[in-house]
Structure 1
Amino acid sequence: MRQWPSLLTVLLFLSPLIAGDVAEKPYNESEERYSSSTVGLLKLLELEMEFIKNLKSYTDLLSAKANTLQDFIDSVDRGTEKSLTEREKYVSNPLNAFGLMRRTHQDWPKWHNYINNTVGRDQLQSLDDILTKAPDSQDMKEALVGMQRIERTYGLQACDLAKGRLQDRQYDTQLSIRDCLALGQHKFQEGDYFRASLWYRMALKHEPEPNAETFNEILGDPLKDLKLNYAKATIIDGLIEELSPGNQSQKIQQVVDVTEEELHKSRAAELDGFVTYLLDQPDDDLAREMAEPALSSYEIGCRGLYPRRTNLVCRYNFTTTPFLRLAPLKMEEVNHDPYIVMYHEVLSENEIEEMKRRSSEMSNGWADMKEENSTKLRDIVCRHCFWSEQSAVRERINRRISDMTGFDFPLTENLQVANYGLGTHFKPHYDYTSDGYETPDVLTLGDRLGTIIFYASDVPQGGATVFPRSRVSILPRKGSSVFWFNLYDDGRPDTRSQHSVCPVIVGDRWTLTKWLHIVPQMFVMPCKPREKS
């Protein structure tokens, strides 16, 4: 049980969270989300670069205008004639008097028009156009969920993330105070009060940023109500631990409902003392207090904690097809039962570049089927497309798949290209028909007998393909592929083929996927009934 200072009895007054000021717009599932792929995030980065380019051009024009006005001021500034006598002497000279009369009659209106003339109209119009392409609130929410997924899946701490430390690697980038605040607000709204308190804490401990005072006038002061929200999240988390479920809701609502005005009427000074007490606690001690729930097999795999397999070998495969006798493939055994293997150096740089060139029209990939009349928002797994254009490269890759698997299928068949984004993942699922999901072409081609995934990029951290039931985890390696069976030889589903994609921490995950159906293999791979393991 946590021991808080006596302020616990006072902190039922705290202000509600700061509401967002961005208007919601109707959510269109088919609309591209920047956060769902690195392709989208690159577009967003380019959009920001365009925004800054126009802003620089606009400020240059403003600066030129300000310099012109300053030149005019310097030319007529009468700062030397300060006394009445000096001013009388000045206007008593007919040259000065006439110049004064002419300037005020002829020049003033023109300078007034110059001042009122808006400079940089084209740049302002461009900025307006760029603003319409900015991420909407749903995209922002998905980015927050992605960050939350990375944090939870890998057990990362706010104190490390905020300072640019991801697992055991330190990066030369840090989250801003507003980044920390946004993550804290999201976790509070999600009911994760302990993590919310940790993110509020990092916002409070953040070093003052350059030009903070000026920026706060435009963007709002991130410190406003921050102490209140930090204390609120901390106390609510304590209430959840200490109160019975029947009393939690009422007490929590009391904390949320009390206003800032009520705080200032009571003991605001005690709040400062309480927050100071909390900030004095070491970050590591607070992180250790977080009772992490029992890890799922999927999370264990994402963290690379499955036990190592033994009796596995790497060898050259030259027996699957006659062609491999001339050009054997490097094959690595990953698991014997169920059978999972990797092939290395089977996708070249040129083929990867061709694949990316053919994937310009990507769409959202979903974790779930669309339910009729459902308003529930589905998780976006990635951005993907089917490589359907006629291409000698695609046919060559399909021929290679046939050599690796021994399976028969038209070499002109499509391949799926996928690119993952900020914290996106694919939850544990099956590739065969199951759980209300029917595989495409199942009536003509049968169910998906096997799956092969090519990795078209390296992923320095995260992004593993995990088989939770088989306790196998495979890290992406550029140019390699992984192959497994989804069905037994007699066509029955093998539940051990359940697999998932872990969130990428750092890297750009590109994959090329091919599903191999059972009907075309009728004479290639005869049915061999066997009992399930």
Structure 2
Amino acid sequence: MRNFLLIMSWVCFCCSWTTHGEVFTSIGQMTDLIHTEKELVQSLREYIRAEESKLAAVKNWASKLDALTQVSTSDPEGYLAHPVNAYKLMKRLNTEWPELESLVLQNPSDGFVANMSVHRQYFPDTEDQTGAAKALMRLQDTYQLDSEAFSKGKLPGVHSNAELTVDDCFDMGKTAYNDADYYHAVLWFQQSLKQLDGGEEAVVSKAEILDYLSYSVYQMGSKWVSNKWIHERGQEFRRPCGLTEVD
């Protein structure tokens, strides 16, 4: 029963946050986003293939001309003494180099960018992302779910594990932090730090995590712990706003 309630609660949470006058009201609407993302991945793959094909053609041309110019520059007069070489030089500079220029100027990204533009109007925005993060935290509170288990996707009644990365956990923490919800901010910054210390790769740095974590703990009132972090970590972890140790 508890597992069923958890799943139903998540459905309600994730499908009801309001943004710019609109509401994600059904799983069907969320499913549309999944199909949109699939289409964008296919478009991205097509762009990559086009770029690789273009680059291969340019590389092949460069290799051919590199070998040819080594011969021609070693003895220019002797090279041009052969009328065929003189003709082919004229042809290359008049026809082939301009063709290469046209190839280089081609932009294989046009199709992908156009596809992105079509779908962008349906993309979730920052407010949507914030709403989804808050929904996760409400679910966490309602069912007293551990942050570590949550980050590993180990939810009761859910068989597919969808994990949160270091950066995901950090962004969860920042969502709470920006809302002055320092309790959840500390939980998620700590989880982000734990996964980073465990060897997981991330874009966010340890310094930045500790920076936000220390200030969040300080805001919760745990001055001794915050001061201890500041003292041990040094100036690199003090907030740009001028966080200093307090008495």
Instruction: Report the equivalent of 1:208.
Output: 200
Report the equivalent of 1:87.
73
Q: Cα 1:208–1:101, aligned 2, differ >3 Å: closer, same or farther?
A: farther
Distance 1:198 1:90, change over 3 A: farther
The answer for the alignment partner of 2:175 in structure 1 is 186
**Which of 226, 233, 242 matches 2:216?**
233
Q: Which amino acid aligns with 2:53?
A: A
Q: Which amino acid aligns with 1:147?
A: L
For residue 161 of structure 1, give the secondary structure of its aligned residue in structure 2. helix
Structure-2 separation of matches of 1:112 and 1:47 = 35
* Structure 2: unaligned runs, 5 residues or longer: 1-18, 239-247
Task: State the partner residue of 2:107.
Answer: 118
Q: What is the CA–CA distance in structure 1 between the aligned matches of 2:161 and 2:76, rounded to whole Å? A: 62
Task: Choose 1 or 2 for highest CA Rg.
Answer: 1
Counterpart amino acid of residue 200 in structure 2? P
C-alpha separation between the residues in 2 aligned to 1:105 and 1:123?
33
Q: Distance in 1 between matches of 2:200 and 2:90?
A: 52
Aligned length: 209
Instruction: Give the TM-score taking structure 1 as reference length.
Output: 0.35
Distance 1:140 1:172, change over 3 A: closer
CA contact (8 A) 2:170 2:188 kept: yes
Specify which of 90, 93, 100 is matched with residue 104 of structure 1. 93
3-state secondary structure, aligned to 1:93: helix
Instruction: For 1:74 and 1:232, locate their aligned partners in 2 and report how far apart those are by CA, in whole Å.
Output: 57
Q: Provide, for residues 3-58 of structure 1, a one-character-per-residue CA deviation record: whole Å limited to 9, x for no partner.
A: xxxxxxxxxxxxxxxxxxxxxxxx543x242xx43222211111111111111111
Equivalent of 1:222, from 172, 182, 204? 204
Q: Given the alignment of the two structures, is residue 175 of structure 1 paired with residue 167 of structure 2, yes or no?
A: no
Distance 1:105 1:97, change over 3 A: same
- What is the SS of the residue equivalent to 2:221? helix
Q: 1:150 aligns with which of 139, 146, 152?
A: 139
Change (3 A) 1:131 1:178: farther
Q: Is the CA contact (8 Å cut-off) linking 1:159 and 1:198 kept in structure 2? A: no
- Greater fraction helix: 2
Q: SS at 1:191's partner residue? A: coil
Distance 1:147 1:109 in 2: 57
Distance 2:130 2:102 in 1: 46
What is the Cα deviation at residue 126 of structure 1?
1.1
* Residue of structure 1 equivalent to 2:151: 162
> Who is 2:234 aligned against?
267
Matches of 1:200 and 1:79, distance apart in 2: 59
The structure in which a higher percent of residues are strand is 1
The one-letter code of the counterpart of 1:229 is: Y
1:69 alignment partner, one of 58, 63, 77 = 58
Give CA-to-partner distance per residue, 1:422-455, whole Å, 9 cap, x none.
xxxxxxxxxxxxxxxxxxxxxxxxxxxxxxxxxx
Q: Percent identity?
A: 20
Residue 97 of structure 2 aligns to a residue in which SS?
helix
> How far apart in 2 are the matches of 1:110 and 1:163?
53
Classify 1:172/1:144 alpha carbon distance in 2 versus 1 (closer, same or farther; 3 Å). closer
- Please say which of residues 221-230 and 128-137 is displaced more in the overlay: 221-230
Read off the aligned partner of 1:200 and give its amino acid letter.
F
Q: Distance in 1 between matches of 2:121 and 2:67?
A: 48
CA distance in 2, matches of 1:156, 1:192: 17
Query: How many angstroms apart in 2 are the aligned matches of 1:235 and 1:226?
Result: 14
**Does structure 2 conserve the Cα–Cα contact (< 8 Å) formed by 1:178 and 1:222?**
yes
Contact 1:91 1:97 in 2 (8 A): no
Matches of 2:149 and 2:109, distance apart in 1: 43
How big is the shift at 1:194? 3.0
Paired residue type of 1:208: E
Deviations 1:305-357 (A, max 9, x none): xxxxxxxxxxxxxxxxxxxxxxxxxxxxxxxxxxxxxxxxxxxxxxxxxxxxx
Q: Is residue 52 from structure 1 mapped to residue 52 from structure 2 by the alignment? A: no
Structure 1 residues 127-167: Cα deviation after superposition (integer angstroms, max 9, x where no partner): 21112211023322221221111111000121111122224
Partner Cα separation in structure 1 for residue 41 and residue 67 of structure 2: 39
RMSD between aligned residues: 3.3
TM-score, normalised relative to structure 2: 0.71
